[in-house]
Amino acid sequence: MTPKNLYGMLAEFQTPKEILDAANAVRKEGYIDFDCHTPFPVHGLDDAMGLKRSIVGFIVGIGCVVGATAGLTLQWWSSTIAYPIIISGKPLFSWQAFMIITFVLMVLGGAFSALIGMFHLNRIPTFYHPLFNSEQFKKATDDKFFVSIEFKDPKFDIEDTRKFLEIIGGKNIEVIEE
């Protein structure tokens, strides 16, 4: 019988080496909705967890195109439609002169989309997370390494997952409620 508002299961590991092996094992077992929590960045953890390259680059690309288009359109509209004034004998739409603002707005669009895209992909800000209900999870910012497997994972089973985490060396296995 599973509790009604279950979030998932948490297991503690002692060293970076252990968490790398654990992440590999969890991925190979076929779990998808799991995460690793470490006090500092562990090299190779992304590969061990099977994480793909972040898509933030594509978000930045879109932001750059939007920024550049906006910059060029603004100058085209203001200098050919809104205020068609001839300046130093140049054509109304002189793209060479508009390139600097277009370029700068491209950079601005790219910078904003990088920041906002990164925040969104990292789910920032998140005001509540069930893992913070766990007392031992506070050590994730100190000296312990954790693997959490979520209830929504299709392979999640309260008995089997507990056994599996014990086999791969997890300590202090705890069921987390919402």
Partner 1 sequence: MNSIFQFKDTNNLVGKFFILGVVSTALSYLGYLNDIEHFYHSYLVSFVFWMTLSLGCMFFVLMHFAMNATWSVGMRRIAETSMSLIPYVCLFFIPLYFGMDILYEWTHHKMKQPYLSKDFFLARTLFYFVCWIFISRTLYYHSTRFSSVESFQTLRKWSGIGTFLYALTISFAAFDWLMTLDPHWYSTMFGVYIFSGSFLVSIAFITLVLIYLRNQGILYNEVKMTHFNDLARIMFGFTVFWAYIAGFQYYIIWYGNLPEEIEWYLARSHGTWMNLSLLLVFGHFVIPFLILIFDKTKKILPILASLAVLILFMHWVDLYWNVLPNLHEDTIVFNWLDITIFLAHGGFFMSLFWKRLSDYPMVPINESRFEDSIKGKY
- What residues make contact with partner 1 under the rule CB under 8 A? 53, 57, 61, 88, 90, 96-97, 99-100
Spatial separation of the C-alpha atoms in residues 9 and 116, rounded to whole Å:
31
Q: Provide, rounded to whole angstroms, the least separation between the CB of residue 23 and partner 1.
A: 20
Q: Name which of 118 and 158 has its Cβ closer to partner 1.
A: 118
Instruction: Tell me if residue 133 falls in helix, strand or coil.
Output: helix
Q: Which residue has the tokens 């789910």?
A: 123
For the record, the structure tokens of 128 come out as 């509540």
Q: Name which of 103 and 112 has its Cβ closer to partner 1.
A: 103
Q: Provide, rounded to whole angstroms, the least separation between the CB of residue 77 and partner 1.
A: 20
Q: Name which of 80 and 136 has its Cβ closer to partner 1.
A: 80
Q: What are the residue ranges of helices labelled H in the chain? A: 16-29, 45-49, 56-76, 95-121, 158-167
Q: Provide, rounded to whole angstroms, the least separation between the CB of residue 118 and partner 1.
A: 17
Q: Name which of 99 and 173 has its Cβ closer to partner 1.
A: 99
Spatial separation of the C-alpha atoms in residues 164 and 169, rounded to whole Å:
9
Which DSSP symbol is given to 35? E
Q: Provide, rounded to whole angstroms, the least separation between the CB of residue 100 and partner 1.
A: 7
Q: Provide, rounded to whole angstroms, the least separation between the CB of residue 121 and partner 1.
A: 16
Q: Name which of 42 and 97 has its Cβ closer to partner 1.
A: 97
Instruction: Tell me if residue 177 falls in helix, strand or coil.
Output: strand
Q: Which residue has the tokens 């590969």?
A: 47
